[in-house]
Structure 1
């Protein structure tokens, strides 16, 4: 039984009954990055009440969108094949929502899983296919990500590692990805700090990851 019944019979209505409740799609967003323990989901969604997280997980499990699975002697939540079909929907919503993003409010945070999905949303595989393989170590607020681009393939993982370019940026990385700020200006104004590697590789990053605002 859906948590909410709109009383209409069509695919969009049914989709909203399954994933339209508050927090549901953000749980799906984080699980698209990979399986997560309950505590990891709670950490990635710092404002979700614990009872709401537990309820949403039960609802999504009952709908066949996610499942509980043993992993290294702990229980994790992971998307089912049916749940993974939501990926293009989530990425399309990210593209659409990006157009309405302004500067963050003081209480809004950047999380590693959210930034991972943002990079997957902005990734342009057709552009990347013509560029040399490149690894970026990106420190985006508290999120530290290793971003590997090899042709049309993108791999984003948490943590550090060998990289051609290491850079730090805050929420204003949005201005680089949108094309509002050119890479050289982003460096000159301190929006992006090059920590290691050639600064001109930021041009390659901006070409590879782009969303028009």
Structure 2
């Protein structure tokens, strides 16, 4: 039973009853990256009260969106096939929300899973298919990601590894992705710090990952 009943017989209404409660879609967002333990979900959503997280997980399980499964001697949460059907919805919602993102507030953070989904949202496979395969080591706030682009294929994983370009940035990296700030200007103003590799590869990154604000 959904926590909220709108009293309407409508598919959009039903979808909102299933995943429209606060925090629900952010849980789905993080599980689209991969299965997560309860503690990992809590760490990725630092402002969610523990009782609300438990309630949302229970509701999403009852709706058939997620399930609990054993994994390496621990219990993790993962999306069901029905839940994974939300991926294009979440990506489209991210692209729509990007237009109203504005400048980051001081207290706002970027998590590894939120950055991973932001990159999936901004990825342009048709453009990437025309460019050489490239690996980026991106540290955005506390999120350290290895981003591999090979033709139209994108792979984003946590951690470090061999990369053609390693860079660090804050939430203002969205200005590069939106085209509001050129890669050269981003480096010159300190929005992006090149840690390793030729800085001109940031232009390739901005071409590969682009969302108009």
State the alpha-carbon separation in 2 of the partners of residues 113 and 152 from structure 1: 21
Per the alignment, residue 105 of structure 1 pairs with 105
Residue 8 (structure 2) aligns with? 8
How far residue 165 of structure 1 moved from its aligned partner, in angstroms, is 0.2
Match of 1:94 in 2: 94
Say whether the 8 Å CA contact 2:187–2:194 is kept in structure 1: yes
Whole-Å separation in 2 of the counterparts to 1:105 and 1:149:
30
Question: Once the two structures are superposed, what CA deviation does each residue of 1:29-80 show, in whole Å capped at 9, x if it has no partner?
Answer: 0000000000000000000000000000000000000000000000000000
Runs ≥4 residues deviating over 2 A: none
Partner of 1:30: 30
Query: Matches of 1:106 and 1:5 in 2, distance apart?
Result: 36
SS of the aligned residue for 2:167 comes to strand
The match for 1:83 is 83
Q: Deviations over 1:133-185 (max 9, x none)?
A: 00000010110000000000000000000000000100110100000011111
How does 1:26-175 map onto structure 2 within 5 Å?
Answer: 26-175=26-175
Q: Please list every run of 5 or more consecutive structure 1 residues that lacks an aligned counterpart in the other structure.
A: none
3-state SS of paired residue (1:172): helix
Deviation at 1:102, TM superposition (A): 1.2
TM-score under structure 1 normalisation? 0.99
* In 2: Cα distance, 1:123 partner to 1:15 partner: 26
* Matching of residue 201 in structure 1 with residue 208 in structure 2: no
CA distance in 1: counterparts of 2:104 and 2:26, whole angstroms = 17
User: Scaled by the length of structure 2, what TM-score is found?
Assistant: 0.99
Shift of 1:126: 0.3
Q: Whole-Å Cα distance in 2 between the matches of residues 109 and 197 of structure 1?
A: 26
The aligned residue for residue 186 of structure 1 is 186
How far does residue 103 in structure 1 lie from its aligned partner after superposition? 1.5
Report the alpha carbon displacement of residue 106 of structure 1 after superposing the two structures with TM.
Answer: 2.3
Structure 2: stretches of 5+ with no match in the other structure: none
